[in-house]
């Protein structure tokens, strides 16, 4: 059967994303849009809207044209939205880059996305320069780099804001033009650029309204990174579109987080499971007054139910809320609404409007299943991505001819229409909500001269956090240690991608066609855990 949303359909929103988010801003005027959670500096809606116009004008003067790809490589800050919506307003596609990227990772994304422009911050300049050098050596030099807080030889945000010309008027086609190009490994392989049109993102915000829509003036805390689709959507696009106030923190530190909640009387927390863990268990939490918190929404990775209950008790909330989404789905398909009096415990919520879900059998038949039956989740709706940038075969492997996106997640729908996500058939590892692609780590491992073969899967640690584990075949006669393997990888990837366990094996199980049989490795791990 096809599960359909119980909410009335919403029409497609054919607006550029900066307009969908910021045109209501005109009406919010002097209300506070953003607060720097560290310094207390505030940005009003009027100032944000004006900054976006000036940044667009400044970028156009610098040479940014419609369709150019601008890479945004910055931690969360109150300047981030001006850069992001300003680039969009100038007609560019924004590829958001993990602020933990190494030079090689950044160069990889800049090259793959065909980015011509980079917007960054001065502490990231050494990484940005090293990446730019790698690109230049490959004959693909960047056209320009903006350093938001200023650095010699580069335009700054202040320079862009000082632009005197008119903002450009690019002819954006919301149905076709790519607003954002975040990177995701999807169900298999290496990270790929996910083409999200203005329409798919703007429509997904309208779809989400039915279940999650912060009130005007509601204070939400933004510590999840804006570069990831979850932070970008749930902590920038949606709250700003609704006239909420976003309290911005550059990174997670429990004490700073709790202090920001207390000081700014934060009402909405939008987080990933590691923050729930800290809030549930850490003694430091008792030192702060967190009584302003009205709801906590957790998504991006599985949430343990006992942990969720412990956190809810500590925050004096009836229950925690969950959402489910995927970069390739713009990203939201399910949310537990803050106004839902009795959601099914442990569920990730109900379908947003204009979205269909199928649960298909895992026995190879692909048959549709009914309520209570576990299978792969397939989604169809206006939020399905346009495709992977420059990779039509990878696109066809996840979006079928009828428009169903095969999520690679396993779940079931209960009798009341609430979805439960219980497992994954795809390779992807979620370390604390961050994507880790096994194929990427395997390629790094195979670059070591003493490694003959390698495979990576996700394995739960004592806290239930999924961690990358490498199975390594040594080149005969070499004395490679697990620590050396872990250090080798750590030196080449962002910290969240580190290999956290290493096991030496005689051979990596592979199919006749040479594909790694991850299922066998997972079964071995499960046997051991059960033993
Ligand atoms: O592509 P991605 O990194 O995307 C995300 C996006 C998450 C959301 C969720 C609700 C929102 O409102 C929102 O704005 C963004 O994580 O990873 C997608 C995969 O992460 C796992 C699942 O395997 C997806 O295919 N995942 C996401 N949410 C959950 C989850 C969840 N609640 N429980 C278990 N796994």
For residue 331, cis peptide bond before it (omega within 30 degrees of 0): yes
Q: What share of the chain is helix, strand, coil (3-state, %, to 5)?
A: 35, 25, 45
Q: What tokens were used for 33?
A: 């849009």
Residues forming a β-bridge with 503: 471
Report the C-alpha gap between 139 and 129 in whole angstroms: 15
Distance (Å) from CA 484 to ligand 1 centroid:
33
Q: Which atom of ligand 1 is nearest to the CA of 424?
A: 23
Place of tokens 């439960």: 420
Res 246: pLDDT: 98
Distance (Å) from CA 326 to ligand 1 centroid:
5
Q: Which residues are CB-neighbours of 251 under 8 A, at least 6 positions away?
A: 75, 76, 223
pLDDT tens-digit map of 63-108: 999 999 999 999 999 999 999 999 999 999 999 999 999 999 999 9
Burial class (CB in 10 A: 0-12, 13-18, 19+), 14: middle
Q: Is the pLDDT of residue 278 over 90?
A: yes
Whether the CB-CB separation of 474 and 450 falls below 8 Å is answered with yes
Q: Which atom of ligand 1 is nearest to the CA of 303?
A: 33
Task: Read off φ and ψ for residue 37, nearest 5 degrees.
Answer: -65, -15
pLDDT tens-digit map of 286-303: 999 999 999 999 999 999
| Rounded alpha-carbon distances, angstroms, from residue 173 to 14, 66, 67, 177, 304 | 8, 11, 11, 5, 42
Range 385-399 average pLDDT? 98
Residues having CB closer than 6 A to ligand 1 are: 184, 229-230, 233-234, 299-302, 322-327, 331-332, 335, 348, 407, 409, 421, 424, 430, 435
Distance (Å) from CA 224 to ligand 1 centroid:
13
Q: Whose CA is nearest to atom 2 of ligand 1?
A: 326
Residue in 226, 324, 411 to alter for ligand 1 test, most ligand atoms within 8 A of Cβ? 324
DSSP H or E stretch at residue 144: strand 144-147
What DSSP state is assigned to residue 506?
S
pLDDT tens-digit map of 5-63: 999 999 999 999 999 999 987 789 999 999 999 999 999 999 999 999 999 999 999 99
Whether the CB-CB separation of 192 and 389 falls below 8 Å is answered with yes
Q: Is the pLDDT of residue 530 over 90?
A: no
Q: Whose CA is nearest to atom 17 of ligand 1?
A: 326
pLDDT tens-digit map of 223-257: 999 999 999 999 999 999 999 999 999 999 999 99
Res 513: pLDDT: 87
pLDDT tens-digit map of 129-144: 999 999 999 999 999 9
Task: Read off φ and ψ for residue 469, nearest 5 degrees.
Answer: -120, 135
Q: Is the pLDDT of residue 450 over 90?
A: yes
Distance (Å) from CA 173 to ligand 1 centroid:
28
Res 26: pLDDT: 74
Range 421-450 average pLDDT? 96
Q: Which atom of ligand 1 is nearest to the CA of 228?
A: 3
Whether the CB-CB separation of 441 and 468 falls below 8 Å is answered with yes
Residues forming a β-bridge with 147: 120
Res 84: pLDDT: 98
Range 203-221 average pLDDT? 98
Distance (Å) from CA 303 to ligand 1 centroid:
11
What percent of the chain lies above the pLDDT cut of 70? 100
Predicted complex: ipTM over 0.90: yes
What percent of the chain lies above the pLDDT cut of 90? 96
Residue in 299, 423, 497 to alter for ligand 1 test, most ligand atoms within 8 A of Cβ? 299
pLDDT tens-digit map of 319-342: 999 999 999 999 999 999 999 999
Range 261-279 average pLDDT? 97
Res 24: pLDDT: 86
**27 CB-side CA count, 13 A:** 10
Residue in 214, 325, 329, 407 to alter for ligand 1 test, most ligand atoms within 8 A of Cβ? 325
Q: Whose CA is nearest to atom 24 of ligand 1?
A: 326
Kindly indicate the confidence band of residue 531, based on its pLDDT and cuts at 50, 70 and 90: low
């Amino acid at each position: 059967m096809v599960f359909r949303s119980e909410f009335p359909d919403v029409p497609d929103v054919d607006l550029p994303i900066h307009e969908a988010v910021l045109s209501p801003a005109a009406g919010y005027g002097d209300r506070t849009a953003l607060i720097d959670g560290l310094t207390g500096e505030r940005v009003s809606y009027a100032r944000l809207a004006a900054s976006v116009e000036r940044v667009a004008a400044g970028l156009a003067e610098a040479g940014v044209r419609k369709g150019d790809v601008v890479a945004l490589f910055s931690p969360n800050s109150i300047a981030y939205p001006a850069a992001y919506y300003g680039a969009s307003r100038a007609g560019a596609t924004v590829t958001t880059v993990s602020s933990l990227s190494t030079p090689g990772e950044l160069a990889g994304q800049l090259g793959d996305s065909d980015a011509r422009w980079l917007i960054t911050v001065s502490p990231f300049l050494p990484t940005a320069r090293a990446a730019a050098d790698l690109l230049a050596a490959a004959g693909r030099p960047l056209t320009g780099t903006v350093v938001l807080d200023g650095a010699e030889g580069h335009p700054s945000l202040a320079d862009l804001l000082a632009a005197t010309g008119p903002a450009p008027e690019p002819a954006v086609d919301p149905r076709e033009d790519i607003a954002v190009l975040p990177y995701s490994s999807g169900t298999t392989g290496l990270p790929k650029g996910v083409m999200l049109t203005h329409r798919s993102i703007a429509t997904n915000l309208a779809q989400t309204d039915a279940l999650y829509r912060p009130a005007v003036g509601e204070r939400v805390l933004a510590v999840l990174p804006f570069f990831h689709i979850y932070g970008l959507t749930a902590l920038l696009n949606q709250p700003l579109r609704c006239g909420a106030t976003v309290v911005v923190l550059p990174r997670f530190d429990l004490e700073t987080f709790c202090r920001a909640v207390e000081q700014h009387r934060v009402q909405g927390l939008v987080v990933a499971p590691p923050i729930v863990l800290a809030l549930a268990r850490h003694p430091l939490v008792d030192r702060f007054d967190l009584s302003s918190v009205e709801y906590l929404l957790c998504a991006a990775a599985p949430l343990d139910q006992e942990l969720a209950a412990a956190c809810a008790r500590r925050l004096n909330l009836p229950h925690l809320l969950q959402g489910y989404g995927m970069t390739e789905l713009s990203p939201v398909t399910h949310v537990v609404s803050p106004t839902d009096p009795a959601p099914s415990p442990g569920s990730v919520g109900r379908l947003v409007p204009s979205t269909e879900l199928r649960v298909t059998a895992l026995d190879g038949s692909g048959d549709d299943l009914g309520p209570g039956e576990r299978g792969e989740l397939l989604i169809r709706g206006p939020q399905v991505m346009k495709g992977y940038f420059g990779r039509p075969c990878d696109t066809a492997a996840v979006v079928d001819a009828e428009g169903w996106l095969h999520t690679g997640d396993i779940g079931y729908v209960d009798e009341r229409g609430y979805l439960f996500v219980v497992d994954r058939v795809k390779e992807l590892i979620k370390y604390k909500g961050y994507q880790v692609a096994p194929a990427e780590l395997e390629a790094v491992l195979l670059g070591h001269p003493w490694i003959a073969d390698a495979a990576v899967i996700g394995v739960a640690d004592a806290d239930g956090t999924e961690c990358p584990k490498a199975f390594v075949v040594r080149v005969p006669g070499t004395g490679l240690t697990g620590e050396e393997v872990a250090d080798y990888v750590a030196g080449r990837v962002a910290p969240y991608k580190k290999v956290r366990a290493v096991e030496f094996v005689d051979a990596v199980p592979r199919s006749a066609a040479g594909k790694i049989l991850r299922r066998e490795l997972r079964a071995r791990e499960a046997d051991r855990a059960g033993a």
